[in-house]
């Protein structure tokens, strides 16, 4: 079976919302500059009076046997790289030989070890897995020797909910616990440059959440690469009594030495590396024991093929792998072939899932706190034509 066409589709539609989808954003590394710190900008689309307008991209890999693999959503820059650089490597090739195609894409894209080019390779890899599953009429986890678990405990990732209105925080934490989520992750709004006042608000967020959910419940906190060692040590000293399950992405991912210092100086477990790429990138973290939990994103780090290799290396260090949750479908198939002790949770980004799954038939939902691994063939994604307001084939 040969690849006959690589098609990039742009889809536009409107996600209905009650009020603004994004209430608050997280702290970002660039917030050290006041002109960025004070912005309240958001990603993924545009808020309008009748909902959240989304324009996004999907890649389809077609074959001469009529079987088609789907991946997405992906941003425009990533769609462009697939069309302009990867398409010519793929058309005419054996669609089943994914290891060969990954190796060829990686070796050909010599400037593509990280960032958008690796996101492009990741999306193609996921589309090829989908294609293989559909060809064999089996869910991808079956091709990988699963399931090890058919239901995966989900934690609610609360990005986009207000973190400054503590009454709302308290109410939401209780609401999502009642929905059955086994744990919650919340996102700090302030970094080192917001000073003592910002630090106090970060601590208040943690205190409010622990009081809301009670003692026997996991809470995680995400710094989104926007802090430094001194600030995190101070923050940790004030919040460790609230027993966070982990502190995430404390500093930017190239600052490995800072992660190692933090591991020595604070007692809260560390997670991170969602902005790291490939097995070689993760090897750096694992070899120095920088993290307790690694969080490769299947759509960013090199695809499902690469994430499986990263996770295998992590298990050799007894390090937990809980992927960052860009694609809940890809992540569910990954989690369904891991030992439950090495992948005890799946991240479910509540608001991003509404955006990323808007165009999909049967979006992957969390029911009573659990993600049921879909039994449909491939990665189980299909475009819901009724959601499309406008569409185009782009970069043809
Ligand atoms: Mg994160």
The answer to whether position 386 is within a domain reads: no
Q: Quick check: pTM over 0.95?
A: yes
On whether both 43 and 108 belong to a single domain, the answer is: yes
On whether both 191 and 251 belong to a single domain, the answer is: yes
Confidence of residue 209 (pLDDT cuts 50, 70, 90): very high
Q: How far is the CA of 62 from the centre of ligand 1 (A)?
A: 33
Determine contact, residues 3/92, Cβ cutoff 8 Å: yes
The answer to whether position 124 is within a domain reads: yes
Q: How far is the CA of 176 from the centre of ligand 1 (A)?
A: 19
* Cβ count near 142 (within 10 Å): 17
Amino acid 242: pLDDT: 98
Q: How far is the CA of 221 from the centre of ligand 1 (A)?
A: 9
Q: Which of 62, 190, 275, 324 is catalytic?
A: 324
Tens digit of each residue's pLDDT (9 = 90 or more) over 116-158: 999 999 999 999 999 999 999 999 999 999 999 999 999 999 9
Tens digit of each residue's pLDDT (9 = 90 or more) over 243-277: 999 999 999 999 999 999 999 999 999 999 999 99
Determine contact, residues 51/17, Cβ cutoff 8 Å: yes
Q: How far is the CA of 159 from the centre of ligand 1 (A)?
A: 9
Q: How far is the CA of 220 from the centre of ligand 1 (A)?
A: 10
Q: Is 190 known to be catalytic? A: no
On whether both 170 and 99 belong to a single domain, the answer is: no
Which of 137, 163, 188 corresponds to the end of one domain?
Answer: 137
The residue behind tokens 């398409």 is: 87
Q: How far is the CA of 394 from the centre of ligand 1 (A)?
A: 31
The answer to whether position 75 is within a domain reads: yes
Q: Which residues, chain by chain, have CB under 5 Å from ion ligand 1?
A: 222, 248
What does the pLDDT average to over 221-245? 98
On whether both 131 and 149 belong to a single domain, the answer is: no
On whether both 117 and 161 belong to a single domain, the answer is: no
List CB contacts of 181: < 8 A, sequence separation 6 or more: 154, 155, 156, 348, 366, 369
The answer to whether position 315 is within a domain reads: yes
| pLDDT, averaged across the chain | 97
Q: How far is the CA of 228 from the centre of ligand 1 (A)?
A: 16
Counting Cβ atoms within 10 Å, is residue 243 exposed (0-12), middle (13-18) or buried (19+)?
middle
On whether both 181 and 237 belong to a single domain, the answer is: yes
On whether both 84 and 163 belong to a single domain, the answer is: no
Tens digit of each residue's pLDDT (9 = 90 or more) over 15-48: 999 999 999 999 999 999 999 998 989 999 999 9
What does the pLDDT average to over 169-190? 98
Looking at residue 329, which CATH number applies to its domain?
Answer: 3.20.20.120
- What range does the domain containing 171 cover? 142-372
On whether both 240 and 115 belong to a single domain, the answer is: no
The encoded tokens of residue 368 equal 């009573």
On whether both 75 and 172 belong to a single domain, the answer is: no
On whether both 310 and 259 belong to a single domain, the answer is: yes
Domain total for the chain? 2
> What span, in angstroms and rounded, lies between the C-alpha atoms of 101 and 121?
10
Tens digit of each residue's pLDDT (9 = 90 or more) over 62-103: 999 999 999 999 999 999 999 999 999 999 999 999 999 999
The answer to whether position 384 is within a domain reads: no
Which of 120, 137, 154 corresponds to the end of one domain?
Answer: 137
On whether both 255 and 361 belong to a single domain, the answer is: yes
The answer to whether position 390 is within a domain reads: no
Which of 107, 122, 137 corresponds to the end of one domain?
Answer: 137
On whether both 119 and 159 belong to a single domain, the answer is: no
Amino acid 10: pLDDT: 98
Amino acid 254: pLDDT: 96
Amino acid 314: pLDDT: 98
What does the pLDDT average to over 48-53? 94
> What span, in angstroms and rounded, lies between the C-alpha atoms of 128 and 101?
9
Tens digit of each residue's pLDDT (9 = 90 or more) over 307-344: 999 999 999 999 999 999 999 999 999 999 999 999 99
Q: How far is the CA of 252 from the centre of ligand 1 (A)?
A: 12
Looking at residue 117, which CATH number applies to its domain?
Answer: 3.30.390.10
What does the pLDDT average to over 192-198? 97
> What span, in angstroms and rounded, lies between the C-alpha atoms of 105 and 74?
18
The answer to whether position 389 is within a domain reads: no
Helix (DSSP H) and strand (DSSP E) numbers for the chain: 14, 15
The answer to whether position 323 is within a domain reads: yes
Q: How far is the CA of 271 from the centre of ligand 1 (A)?
A: 9
- H or E stretch at 151: strand 151-157
């Amino acid at each position: 079976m040969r690849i006959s066409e690589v098609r990039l589709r742009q889809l536009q539609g409107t996600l209905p919302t009650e009020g603004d989808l994004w209430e608050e954003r997280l702290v970002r590394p660039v917030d050290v500059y006041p002109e960025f710190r004070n912005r309240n900008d958001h990603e993924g689309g545009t808020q309008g009076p009748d909902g959240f307008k989304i324009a996004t991209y999907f890649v389809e890999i077609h074959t001469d046997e009529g079987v088609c693999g789907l991946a997405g959503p992906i941003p425009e820059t990533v769609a462009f790289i697939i069309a302009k650089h990867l398409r010519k490597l793929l058309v005419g090739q054996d669609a089943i030989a994914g290891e060969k195609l990954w190796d060829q894409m990686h070796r050909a894209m010599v400037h593509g070890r990280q960032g958008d080019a690796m996101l492009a390779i990741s999306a193609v890899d996921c589309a090829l897995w989908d294609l293989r599953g559909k060809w064999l009429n089996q869910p991808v986890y079956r091709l990988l020797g699963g399931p090890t678990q058919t239901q995966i405990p989900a934690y609610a990732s609360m990005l986009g909910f207000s973190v400054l209105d503590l009454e709302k925080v308290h109410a939401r934490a209780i609401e999502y616990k009642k929905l059955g989520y086994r744990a919650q992750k919340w996102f700090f709004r302030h970094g080192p440059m917001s000073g003592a006042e910002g630090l106090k608000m970060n601590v208040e967020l943690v205190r409010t959440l622990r009081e809301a959910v009670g003692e026997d419940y996991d809470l995680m906190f995400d710094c989104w690469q926007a802090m430094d060692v001194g600030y995190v040590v101070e923050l940790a000293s004030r919040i460790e009594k609230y027993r966070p399950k982990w502190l995430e992405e404390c500093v930017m991912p190239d600052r490995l030495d800072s992660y190692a210092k933090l591991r020595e100086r604070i007692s809260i477990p560390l997670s991170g590396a969602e902005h790291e790429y490939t097995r070689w990138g993760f090897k750096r973290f694992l070899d120095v024991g920088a993290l307790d939990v690694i969080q490769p994103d299947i759509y960013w780090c090199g695809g499902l093929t690469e994430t499986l290799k990263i996770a295998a290396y992590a298990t050799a260090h007894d390090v937990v792998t809980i992927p960052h949750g860009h694609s809940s479908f890809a992540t569910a198939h990954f989690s369904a072939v891991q030992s439950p002790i090495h992948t005890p949770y799946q991240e479910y980004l509540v608001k991003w899932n509404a955006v990323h799954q808007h165009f999909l038939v049967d979006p992957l939902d969390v029911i009573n706190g659990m993600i049921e691994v879909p039994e449909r063939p491939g990665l189980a994604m299909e475009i819901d034509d009724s959601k499309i307001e406008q569409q185009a084939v782009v970069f043809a």
